[in-house]
Amino acid sequence: MTIVSTAALTTSTSAIVSEFSGGSSSNVAMFIGIGLVKDSDAVFFQYQNEGEQPVALLQPSGKHLSTLANVTLVDVSIYEPRDEYNTLKVNITLESSSGTQVMVTSGLTTFWSQSVVGGLLAMLKGGDLTCPFSLDTWRGSKGKIKPCFGAVKVNRESMRNNELYNALCDARADSNKQLVETIMRDAVEVLNAALNVTPAVVTLDEVTEKVSADF
């Protein structure tokens, strides 16, 4: 995972990471938002100090970074700001092969989050949520405001959970935003449980049964 912007966190940026993660930010080297600048073709942006515009992440060649390659999943959770906007976020902490951790965040119900969470659920159903994968991100080609989409790939194969995909499609077709949020909350809860409890407490069979029941 080669990124041009690799400066150490400032005090302000570290505080933002701590706020969004709901706890300590000591292991997170960079806080990344998805599609933060709408009129930019870039997709990954590093949050800066308060009042400063986020900075697009670039490859050494100068091209916009679009893939976080060979990463493993450390944590996934929901951030609830509890402010007037109440913009729910999904926070995904990833670790590179060299041990560097970054936190990637996006709105809980965005197309990007729906795609990526579905990919992570597919990894879980496959039996290994902690295997290395690549996180691809790109902008859609239609509409004035082009949303971002994401894909989780293992050995270049896209991971997809059909149960989640179909449930979200049905909820969107009914314009049921609350149901979309509920489905995403449940999906993140399943992933979080699989990552943060011992197999003796939650087995893979129990987790996949919950996924099937919910979606």
pLDDT, tens digit, for every residue of 151-206?
Answer: 999 999 999 999 999 999 999 999 999 999 999 999 999 999 999 854 433 333 44
- Using pLDDT thresholds of 50, 70 and 90, give the confidence band for residue 78: very high
**Residue whose structure tokens are 């965040």:** 105
Neighbours of 191 (CB within 10 A): 24
Give pTM, 2 decimals: 0.79
Asked whether 71 and 137 are in contact (CB, 8 A), the reply is: no
What proportions of the chain, in percent to the nearest 5, are helix, strand and coil? Answer: 30, 25, 40
- Beta strands 67-79 and 89-95 are antiparallel
Taking a C-beta distance cutoff of 8 angstroms, is the pair 77, 188 a contact?
yes
More confident residue, 179 or 146: 179
Q: What pLDDT score does 206 carry?
A: 42
Assign residue 62 a region (left: φ > 0; alpha: ψ between -120 and 50; beta: otherwise): left
